[in-house]
């Protein structure tokens, strides 16, 4: 049944009680669709490949950025600028040549969601945005495929399995996405680098259990993990009979992208790119650079000549900007989200010339010459 190399590679599985040769054979004959090759997808993909999953499809349209490497262990420094699917294919094939790694350099979208899901035994949701989460869930329910879901925020993470009618789907827990602008991204809020490693590994564990029909999957339970207190908590979750997707009388009959964006507020705020701000500096045009990040963020690196007023203090401290009402104020934060809100606050308080730096301080760093990076203080 197994080649000599396979007997050696999977020796610890082959002698494992309640797993053995049959369990390994099932893994080699199984397929997993991994949506997202980032923080969660990296450990999940590595462990699934090491375990001998026969076919792993990896959907991601992004390229490797140096800021990914703090947590996305599937990629290395040499992969910066390379498509994540290409980097993943290289790493996973090197890990286990038994595995057929299928790189899918596309955005998971309406046009391909159900077709992709249909071609695999289960789906691992390793994404970081609500639009894709809902789309994965809807496509999987309609194609009768289980989803191993994971999510992270700051120091906490969650894992569960969606597999109606055995348990709930994502819409049973969250019928509607949160209002735009109410949930910060990992770019803005940050995330502990090892956290997705824990959650992604748990996702791989649940996938292997489902494929081999061993243990008790998290189909009606949500596992919550707090890294700071090192505590796990399990919550019971149930399918809603009135769910629009998996309920007794569903109204959703196809997988389409929900109408949701990170932020829709303050669309009338003028924007400025890092290149444009550099040109403004070169021309020595008078202006004020207002950094609205927290003091901790600013201490790690900032643009010379800034004034720091954190966003949550800005409304109460606009008096400190007296005399600047008719001058250009460029607002800056880590990724360009909080600074847009800051610019809107200034507009409401009579400041006529404001601009938001697109992409924030991270975009500024990317645009600096290599010798200058890390020197803006």
List active site positions. 186, 333
Nearest to 24 by CA among 92, 96, 75: 96
Instruction: Note whether 162 and 139 are within 8 A (CB).
Output: no
Rg (CA), the chain: 24
DSSP per-residue letters across 206-248? HHHHHHHT-S--SSSEEEEEETTTTEEEEEE----TT-TTTSS
Instruction: Note whether 26 and 50 are within 8 A (CB).
Output: no
The DSSP code for 154 is: B
What distance in Å separates the CA atoms of residue 247 and residue 131, rounded to the nearest whole number?
Answer: 21
Burial of 293 (0-12, 13-18, 19+ CB in 10 A): buried
Hey, how many other C-beta atoms are within 10 angstroms of the C-beta on 186?
17
What distance in Å separates the CA atoms of residue 189 and residue 238, rounded to the nearest whole number?
Answer: 30
Strands 156-162 and 221-226: antiparallel
Nearest to 75 by CA among 91, 62, 59, 93: 91
- Evaluate the CA torsion angle 176, 161, 183, 73 in order and state its sign: negative
């Amino acid at each position: 049944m197994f080649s000599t190399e396979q007997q050696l590679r999977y020796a610890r599985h082959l002698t494992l009680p309640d797993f053995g040769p049959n369990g390994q054979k099932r893994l080699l004959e199984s397929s997993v669709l991994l949506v997202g090759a980032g923080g969660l997808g990296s450990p999940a993909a590595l462990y699934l490949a090491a375990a001998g999953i026969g076919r792993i499809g990896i959907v991601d349209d992004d390229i490797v950025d140096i800021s990914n490497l703090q947590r996305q262990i599937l990629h290395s420094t040499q992969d910066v600028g390379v498509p994540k699917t290409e980097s993943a294919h290289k790493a996973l094939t090197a890990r286990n040549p038994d595995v057929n790694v299928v790189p899918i350099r596309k955005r998971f979208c309406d046009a391909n969601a159900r077709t992709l899901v249909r071609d695999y035994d289960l789906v691992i949701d390793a994404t970081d945005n609500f639009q894709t989460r809902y789309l994965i869930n809807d496509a999987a329910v309609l194609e009768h495929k289980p989803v191993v879901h994971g999510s992270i925020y700051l120091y906490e993470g969650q894992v569960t399995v969606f597999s109606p009618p055995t348990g709930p789907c994502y819409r049973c827990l969250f019928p509607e996405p949160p209002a735009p602008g109410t949930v910060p991204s990992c770019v803005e809020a940050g995330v502990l680098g090892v956290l997705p490693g824990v959650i992604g590994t748990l996702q791989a564990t649940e996938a292997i259990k489902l494929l081999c029909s061993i243990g008790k999957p998290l189909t009606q339970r949500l596992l919550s993990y707090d890294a700071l207190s090192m505590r796990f908590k399990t919550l019971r979750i149930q399918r809603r009979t009135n769910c629009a997707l998996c309920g007794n009388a569903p109204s959703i009959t196809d997988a389409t992208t929900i109408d949701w964006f990170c932020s829709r507020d303050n669309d009338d705020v003028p924007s400025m790119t890092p290149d444009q701000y550099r040109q403004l500096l070169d021309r020595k045009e008078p202006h004020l650079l207002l950094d609205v990040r927290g003091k901790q963020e600013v201490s790690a690196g900032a643009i010379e000549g800034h004034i720091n007023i954190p966003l949550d203090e800005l409304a109460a401290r606009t008096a400190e900007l007296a005399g600047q009402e008719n001058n250009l104020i460029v607002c800056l934060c880590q990724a360009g989200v909080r600074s847009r809100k800051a610019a809107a606050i200034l507009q409401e308080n009579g400041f006529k010339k404001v601009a938001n730096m697109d992409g924030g301080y991270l975009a500024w760093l990317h645009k600096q010459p290599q010798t200058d990076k890390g020197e803006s203080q």
